[in-house]
Amino acid sequence: MRFQVPLDYSNPSSGTLEIFARSASRHESPVAPASDDEANKKSQKPWLLFLQGGPGGACPPPQSMALTNVAIDKGYQMLYMDQRGTGLSTPISASTLALQGDAQQQADYLKFFRADSIIRDAEAIRKTLTHDYPSELKKWSIFGQSFGGFCALTYLSKSPQGLREVFMTGGLAPITVQHADEVYKATYKLVMDRNKSYYSKYPEDVENVQKLAFFIKSKGGIPLPSGGTLTVRYFMTLGKALGAHGGVDSIHEHVYRMKSDLEQFQFLTRPTLSALESALTFDNGVLYAVLHEAIYCEGTASNWSADRVGKSLKEFQWLSSVPNSPADLSEQPLYWAGEMIFPFMFETSTELAQLRPAAELIAQYSNWPALYDEWQLARNEVPVYAATYFNDMYVDFGLAQQTASKVKGIKQFITNSMYHDALRSRNEEVMHQLFAMRDDSID
């Protein structure tokens, strides 16, 4: 399905975007043909909209999501929407953004790709899909994973009249913080804990990672297959995988493969570099890099918050400098970064390099509108069911609980045995717990 929506809802004449979405429902083959009226009624099932994580990630197709069959079995029909600027929804890349003009025009365009615009797209689509539905089916349910949960909280704040119920996993946004710095001060602590787990499981990598860092530095950076450059700092951003199930092992696999290459050939092979590039790059999802800090801003500028906070921590001094010789390396391990975006990424990536001027303007922009309405959330009447992970590296548990205390009637499934990507990695248990809360079957 394709829908036309305004770029700027406050100024519809400013242009339009195309929003692409895929629907999924149960295929039925009745014994006897149904009348048109019966067929119409059967097709009008309650909608469940899935809001993808990110920001900037394309929505998976229905067949790739375990959620699809669970939801269909529960009587829903699913809608998977590519959020504006992603997937097939007027996608943003360096080349498409260049069509907007200079850096300032590009930055002004990018300001319309946050959660407040995303939920207005969703609400417009809901009204279109349900215009001829009976009144009891006009509201829909939404399911937000990670950033999708942030969007769900914005939806609850701005347009709760369109919602029947809300599910979210790892998506309790830190709505109580006054500045993005508070988010990163909390999440860097979580990243440090995950680094300790990494080096506890793979103690040999203390030395291996240091040697790899020195090798990369000695080469002045290593060209990547798609044209970017593997620098020491870029290498250390592999740590964004630490917060997912299997993330520790996936990083170690890269380290072991690089070490093996150097032992056999004294250089890194193309397959190894391709695997590294795939794990590191945001070239195919530039919105994530440009807007990641902006999702935490209301009336403030981020000013590269993750970079500033990280440079104040001794564990991440590689953000300021890199080893010049093996003697510069201590016995302390080099700590991987987490889900952070740094200015140097706009130098090491060919696609992001083209967006550096616009990204600088976004980082300096302070007039971001409010995304959440605490007064509305305090009087919320929409049922909300959230899976919250105590060991979530990307969404600090303490900040998440502050948010939960602001949402009237929220129910949470809280666990310390899952990570942020449990919707994918532990889908059956997560879905069971969410629907158990909805059906009030705990007793």
Q: Is 146 a catalytic residue?
A: yes
Q: Is 307 a catalytic residue?
A: no
| Alpha-carbon gap, residue 352 to 359, rounded angstroms | 9
* Phi, psi of 200, deg, nearest 5: -70, -40
The encoded tokens of residue 417 equal: 């045995």
Q: Is 252 a catalytic residue?
A: no
Amino acid at position 23, single letter: S
C-alpha distances in angstroms, 199 versus 80, 192, 231, 258, 338? 38, 11, 22, 17, 15
| Alpha-carbon gap, residue 230 to 177, rounded angstroms | 34
| Alpha-carbon gap, residue 38 to 59, rounded angstroms | 32
| Alpha-carbon gap, residue 411 to 54, rounded angstroms | 24
| Alpha-carbon gap, residue 51 to 61, rounded angstroms | 12
Active-site residue, from 116, 205, 283, 392: 392
Active-site residue, from 89, 141, 146, 349: 146
Amino acid at position 253, single letter: E
Amino acid at position 86, single letter: T
Q: Decide: 92 and 84 in contact? Cβ < 8 Å.
A: no
Amino acid at position 305, single letter: S
- Supply the residues annotated as catalytic: 146, 392, 420
